[in-house]
Amino acid sequence: QVQLQQSGAELVKPGSSVKISCKASGYTFTSYDMHWIKQQPGNGLEWIGWIYPGNGNTKYNQKFNGKATLTADKSSSTAYMQLSSLTSEDSAVYFCARGELRRANWFAYWGQGTLVTVSS
Protein backbone atom coordinates (compact mmCIF):
# COMPACT_ATOMS: atom_id res chain seq x y z
CA GLN A 1 0.00 0.00 0.00
CA VAL A 2 1.11 3.55 -0.68
CA GLN A 3 2.70 5.22 2.33
CA LEU A 4 4.38 8.56 2.81
CA GLN A 5 6.37 8.73 6.05
CA GLN A 6 7.58 12.17 7.08
CA SER A 7 10.38 13.10 9.44
CA GLY A 8 9.74 14.28 12.97
CA ALA A 9 9.00 17.68 14.43
CA GLU A 10 11.69 20.36 14.29
CA LEU A 11 12.42 23.28 16.61
CA VAL A 12 14.69 25.72 14.79
CA LYS A 13 16.04 29.20 15.35
CA PRO A 14 15.11 32.26 13.30
CA GLY A 15 17.44 32.78 10.38
CA SER A 16 18.42 29.12 10.15
CA SER A 17 17.39 26.42 7.68
CA VAL A 18 15.65 23.09 8.07
CA LYS A 19 15.34 20.08 5.80
CA ILE A 20 12.39 17.74 6.20
CA SER A 21 11.89 14.41 4.49
CA CYS A 22 9.11 12.29 3.06
CA LYS A 23 9.91 8.60 2.47
CA ALA A 24 7.66 6.92 -0.07
CA SER A 25 6.81 3.24 -0.27
CA GLY A 26 4.34 0.98 -2.00
CA TYR A 27 4.67 2.49 -5.48
CA THR A 28 7.24 3.51 -8.11
CA PHE A 29 8.68 6.68 -6.58
CA THR A 30 10.05 8.01 -9.85
CA SER A 31 6.70 7.92 -11.64
CA TYR A 32 4.67 10.41 -9.57
CA ASP A 33 5.01 14.07 -8.62
CA MET A 34 5.55 14.78 -4.97
CA HIS A 35 3.86 17.93 -3.72
CA TRP A 36 4.43 19.92 -0.55
CA ILE A 37 1.70 21.83 1.28
CA LYS A 38 1.92 24.22 4.22
CA GLN A 39 -0.65 24.61 7.00
CA GLN A 40 -0.17 27.29 9.62
CA PRO A 41 -1.85 26.74 13.02
CA GLY A 42 -5.59 27.18 12.71
CA ASN A 43 -5.25 28.11 9.05
CA GLY A 44 -5.94 26.59 5.69
CA LEU A 45 -3.73 24.85 3.19
CA GLU A 46 -1.14 26.47 0.96
CA TRP A 47 0.55 24.72 -1.97
CA ILE A 48 4.34 25.13 -2.05
CA GLY A 49 5.36 23.17 -5.15
CA TRP A 50 6.15 19.78 -6.62
CA ILE A 51 9.10 17.72 -7.70
CA TYR A 52 9.09 14.92 -10.23
CA PRO A 53 11.64 12.44 -8.86
CA GLY A 54 12.05 10.78 -12.24
CA ASN A 55 14.06 13.69 -13.61
CA GLY A 56 14.24 16.20 -10.76
CA ASN A 57 11.99 18.74 -12.44
CA THR A 58 10.34 21.16 -10.04
CA LYS A 59 7.53 23.70 -10.04
CA TYR A 60 7.11 26.24 -7.26
CA ASN A 61 4.44 28.58 -6.03
CA GLN A 62 6.08 31.96 -6.71
CA LYS A 63 5.38 32.88 -3.11
CA PHE A 64 7.87 30.22 -1.99
CA ASN A 65 10.63 30.98 -4.49
CA GLY A 66 13.80 31.39 -2.48
CA LYS A 67 12.14 29.97 0.63
CA ALA A 68 11.63 26.32 -0.28
CA THR A 69 13.92 23.99 -2.22
CA LEU A 70 12.63 20.58 -3.29
CA THR A 71 14.90 17.63 -3.96
CA ALA A 72 14.52 13.87 -4.24
CA ASP A 73 16.76 10.85 -3.74
CA LYS A 74 15.78 8.03 -6.06
CA SER A 75 17.97 5.50 -4.27
CA SER A 76 16.01 5.87 -1.03
CA SER A 77 12.63 6.91 -2.50
CA THR A 78 12.73 10.02 -0.35
CA ALA A 79 11.65 13.54 -1.16
CA TYR A 80 13.06 16.51 0.73
CA MET A 81 12.08 20.09 1.30
CA GLN A 82 14.57 22.60 2.63
CA LEU A 83 13.27 25.84 4.09
CA SER A 84 15.73 28.68 4.46
CA SER A 85 16.01 32.02 6.30
CA LEU A 86 13.33 30.89 8.70
CA THR A 87 11.01 33.35 10.45
CA SER A 88 7.99 32.90 12.69
CA GLU A 89 5.84 32.93 9.54
CA ASP A 90 7.40 29.60 8.58
CA SER A 91 6.11 27.92 11.75
CA ALA A 92 3.60 25.44 10.37
CA VAL A 93 2.82 21.82 9.64
CA TYR A 94 4.22 20.76 6.29
CA PHE A 95 2.69 17.87 4.37
CA CYS A 96 3.97 15.91 1.41
CA ALA A 97 1.35 14.50 -0.94
CA ARG A 98 1.54 12.37 -4.05
CA GLY A 99 0.06 13.86 -7.20
CA GLU A 100 -2.02 11.44 -9.24
CA LEU A 101 -1.00 10.63 -12.79
CA ARG A 102 -4.00 12.18 -14.44
CA ARG A 103 -3.83 15.77 -15.68
CA ALA A 104 -6.12 16.80 -12.80
CA ASN A 105 -3.34 15.66 -10.47
CA TRP A 106 -5.28 15.42 -7.18
CA PHE A 107 -3.74 14.32 -3.87
CA ALA A 108 -4.91 10.84 -2.91
CA TYR A 109 -2.03 10.10 -0.53
CA TRP A 110 -0.61 12.39 2.14
CA GLY A 111 2.16 12.14 4.69
CA GLN A 112 1.27 12.60 8.34
CA GLY A 113 2.80 16.07 8.43
CA THR A 114 5.94 17.58 9.98
CA LEU A 115 5.61 20.39 12.51
CA VAL A 116 8.26 23.07 12.16
CA THR A 117 8.46 25.58 15.00
CA VAL A 118 10.66 28.63 14.54
CA SER A 119 11.63 30.10 17.88
CA SER A 120 14.69 31.53 19.60
| Contacting positions for other proteins (CB under 8 A) | 35, 44-47, 59, 61-63, 95, 97, 100, 102-108, 110-113
Cβ nearer to other proteins, comparing 3 with 119: 3
Residues 6+ apart with CB under 8 A from 31: 54, 101
Q: How far is the CB of 110 from other proteins (least distance, A)?
A: 4
Three-state DSSP at 63 gives helix
Tell me how far apart the alpha carbons of residues 83 and 64 are, in angstroms, rounded to a whole number: 9
> In angstroms, what is the minimal distance from the CB of 73 to other proteins?
22
Q: CB of residue 113 vs other proteins: minimum separation in angstroms?
A: 6
Q: CB-wise, 4 or 18, nearer to other proteins?
A: 4
d(CA 15, CA 13): 6
Q: CB of residue 13 vs other proteins: minimum separation in angstroms?
A: 26
Q: Name the residue among 65, 72, 61, 67 with its Cα closest to residue 17.
A: 67
Q: Which CB atom, from 10 or from 100, has the smaller least distance to other proteins?
A: 100
